[in-house]
Amino acid sequence: MSETTEPNGAADAFQLLRMIEAIVFASAEPVTEAALAARLPEGVKVRPLLETLAAQYDRRGVQLTRAGNTWAFRTAPDLAEALTVETVDQRRLSRAAVETLAIIAYHQPVTRAEIEEIRGVAVSKGTLDVLLDAGWIRPRGRRQTPGRPLQWGSTDAFLDHFGLESVKDLPGVDELRAAGLLDARPALAAYGARAHDHDDAATLPDDDGSDEPLDPNDGAEEQGPA
């Protein structure tokens, strides 16, 4: 039998290495030795071939690594830092969050019940949590009315994100409508009315933390209308 067909011949060994390399490279998951053996001619010892292939990749940017009985190509450990890329995960606010944020910005300090009255629907705790996590709203004390409901207002982070120096720079109702950002529903359209009057905007409280502190014994959020 010629060298090219001899199972242990150099040509056959090279071809087997190429087959293993292609199978492991094309697999989305680490490949077991049993799975490789099933794809190769019967009687071929897979482990020595894998070790030979791993040695060939030892100083390359991509290396053949073993984890138990599975094998996979992985980036060389010393290159991990150079290949690390930080990305910002952009997430769009939900419609409810956008509307709630707009109402707070234009009507602050505003209670949850007032937000619900303007929107015409109940405000879920999750919506406020999203805006809190983003750092765009914060509690602004409690209203001196029965039940002392919690009030909400915008933050400096909100102004910075939207490129505003103060709430007086918020766009007016006509600008919002022109940009298609103001809903046509009468109840929701009310949130832009205040922007039309810059005198009203000028009277909004500064975000200096001077509002009445929250009651440490009353951390529960007020409930919206039934």
Domain-wise residue ranges, the chain: 10-77, 95-202
C-alpha pair distances (Å), 59 with each of 26, 37, 50, 150: 21, 26, 16, 63
pLDDT at position 222 over 50: no
Q: What is the reported pLDDT for 225?
A: 41
Give 196-206 pLDDT, tens digit per residue: 443 343 333 33
Give 89-119 pLDDT, tens digit per residue: 677 888 889 889 989 998 999 999 999 998 8
pLDDT at position 195 over 60: no
CATH 3.40.640.10 at 10-77, yes or no:
no
CA atoms in the 13 A half-sphere facing the CB of 4: 0
Q: Are 10-77 and 95-202 in the same CATH fold? A: yes
pLDDT at position 46 over 90: yes
C-alpha pair distances (Å), 170 with each of 104, 153, 191, 205: 12, 14, 12, 15
Q: What is the reported pLDDT for 137?
A: 92
Q: In the CATH scheme, what is the code of domain 95-202?
A: 1.10.10.10
**Low-confidence winner among 16-20, 52-56, 187-191, 206-210 (lowest mean pLDDT):** 206-210
